[in-house]
Structure 1
């Protein structure tokens, strides 16, 4: 049996988790980007090669790019997008020239992945990431005071959010604001209240239909280039997979994924299957989605979230939470077998454990990226590896 390629995300030489430690975790592939060139400029062949050499010197392989940033003009559909998409096209060519073909990206406007709490206590003593829907609403309505924010909430939600706001200390409000807009660890975006409101205002008049159209245009420009050089593009879902701060979201549901793979039909136009992002919605049947889109899934993030009735969730154990990860792994292994039987060189699907808990010695460290600590992800990878071995044993029986 051929297992999935076991990978770890690495944020470059400044990452508190070193390449040597990642290798000790048993991973063989690295998921990374040129985080020092994150303004939409072209990643040169030379800079890519330099980053790749660092990885290979540790006995690892640069397996997946996550992510080439999509410039805001592309998401907004502005005339200047032509310049920035040309940069994107050249970066794809330059990555392929270095033998790097799997490219994960996202199309989330303004906010990347979003959490209100980076150190949510778990029963066993570890710390998890959490999105509290009431904290977010309270911040949006009564701290940020976004224009017309009330239109996005029911009367009951506004009442509950006001009660939550009234219960928050100034210190707690400051922490929620920091987590929501000042830049989550290992992300490149950072705002203060004024600049965040200005960024949101840029999307006035951009609804779901327009953002989806802008994504289609983007794919029409980059998919032919990816085909030309043998690259595989795989869009990451919204995280969480529902609207925030009045912004549209267009990579959240099964219907969204279907629209994306159908709008530019090509083996190069595919998906990153993030079980935690899609799993933040109860109406997403993850196993059915994985089965439907198996041929278009080029990369996977495996993590689990525990959903709550009000739309809140926290990062659960990889084999706990609201989603059935072993069933997903079974689908991915079956798809690999199908690709291998076709004689494809790119049959193996990279997987990385995502958003591990902060555990053991990592809790005491002052320099960590919550969600991307070593021990929590090592535990997640070991559990994923164990499931793959269990499936192999069951097949032999």
Structure 2
């Protein structure tokens, strides 16, 4: 497995020198400053490659941009409205420019309105470390009594609604603002969260889009872009919903193994693949991560390795992000299955036998708590996670 590290660009408080000291082999990055739907120009792609290739003192870093995360899919494409045809054409051009620059792997997602969703970005653990957490009661309090979304009461059991009402009644204004900011933080890499007005407007635009309709729009998108990716030698890998269950009345279509099987069968070419995120998929107790790697591994183009602690056995429940070896996913079994897949690819002489992986998220520990990096992306916490994953790799690969 090729060990990579996510970098949000020159404004990231975890820099090139930090990555070098962590011993990573490649970089995962994206051009977050370019508006979604616009073309990623060759000049902007080269500028990011150069930023990765050199340290702050001007000397070469020895690192390269390995994986694109993410080339975002616009809301117009997801809804098949507005400028969606123009945005698909621009997506194809961006893929062409990335391929021309030597990039081969593109991660993306098809989640409506919001990307990952948490209710607390700095949940304090007994050790003093902080992590990101999704609390179902807090989320219900936001949905029901802050956002006041029409129909929200139909999405929660009565006992959850009662607890949410009680919790909301105890929240002071600062607490309400903090909960709101955490939930609508927006896409990773964004400079700031979207406004409540924008969230409400975006939600309204999905009122008449069912899961089946969104899935149909997704397949239409893949039918356009996946053959282009195949011809360019690119690998597209869809990231799962995070968390992998319905929120805010929005459809979710990439939350289970069945969802991925449907997507791969619908556009059955090698370029149409998977980002297997053990943290996102692992937030559902009915998702079998090692089994998914065994059964779907041929089309896994990218691995996000992290862990979560589930606080209930419900499909839609509370969870918090854990140490990489400390949650409910059997990380040893998952990585063993990934190594077995790599061995199969070597036997088949696949050029992409080495699957890029990155330590996804991490706890804020030690000096991380002063650095205030992108939520979920501390320096030391991710380094600790990478070290633990390396230990598994070393043990499983030992002769």
Counterpart of 2:255 (choices 252, 255, 260) is: 252
* Structure 2 counterpart of 1:163: 166
Gaps of 5+ in 1: none
Displacement after TM superposition at 1:156 (Å) = 2.1
Are 1:202 and 2:205 an aligned pair?
A: yes
Distance 1:182 1:383 in 2: 29
Gaps of 5+ in 2: 55-60
Counterpart of 1:364 (choices 351, 365, 370) is: 370
* Structure 2 counterpart of 1:386: 391
How many residues are aligned here?
390
Query: SS in structure 2 opposite 1:206?
Result: coil
* Structure 1 counterpart of 2:381: 376
* Structure 2 counterpart of 1:338: 344
Q: 1:189 to 1:237 in 2, by over 3 A?
A: farther
Distance 2:94 2:191 in 1: 19
Kindly report which structure 2 residues correspond to 1:280-295, keeping only aligned pairs within 5 A, or say none: 280-295=283-298
Please list the CA deviations of residues 72-122 of structure 1 after superposition, one character each: whole Å capped at 9, or x if unmatched: 111002253111000001111110001101000000000100111111111
* Structure 1 counterpart of 2:36: 39
Counterpart of 2:273 (choices 270, 273, 276) is: 270
Q: 1:189 to 1:74 in 2, by over 3 A?
A: farther
* TM-score when normalising by structure 2: 0.95
Aligned residues of 1:32 and 1:64 also touching (Cα < 8 A): yes
Distance 1:122 1:351 in 2: 26
* Structure 2 counterpart of 1:22: 19
Displacement after TM superposition at 1:344 (Å) = 1.9
Query: SS in structure 1 opposite 2:66?
Result: strand
Counterpart of 1:321 (choices 324, 327, 331) is: 327
Please list the CA deviations of residues 265-298 of structure 1 after superposition, one character each: whole Å capped at 9, or x if unmatched: 0000000000000000011111111111000000
Aligned residues of 2:114 and 2:187 also touching (Cα < 8 A): no
Displacement after TM superposition at 1:38 (Å) = 3.2
Are 1:350 and 2:347 an aligned pair?
A: no
Displacement after TM superposition at 1:182 (Å) = 4.3
Distance 2:311 2:163 in 1: 15
Are 1:219 and 2:218 an aligned pair?
A: no
* Structure 2 counterpart of 1:5: 2
Please list the CA deviations of residues 198-255 of structure 1 after superposition, one character each: whole Å capped at 9, or x if unmatched: 1100001101100100100000000010011000000000000001111010000111
Displacement after TM superposition at 1:370 (Å) = 2.1
Distance 1:69 1:190 in 2: 16
Displacement after TM superposition at 1:188 (Å) = 5.9
* Structure 1 counterpart of 2:151: 148
Structure 1 stretches of at least 4 aligned residues deviating more than 3 Å after TM superposition: 182-185
Distance 2:185 2:268 in 1: 38
Distance 1:236 1:221 in 2: 18
Displacement after TM superposition at 1:45 (Å) = 1.4
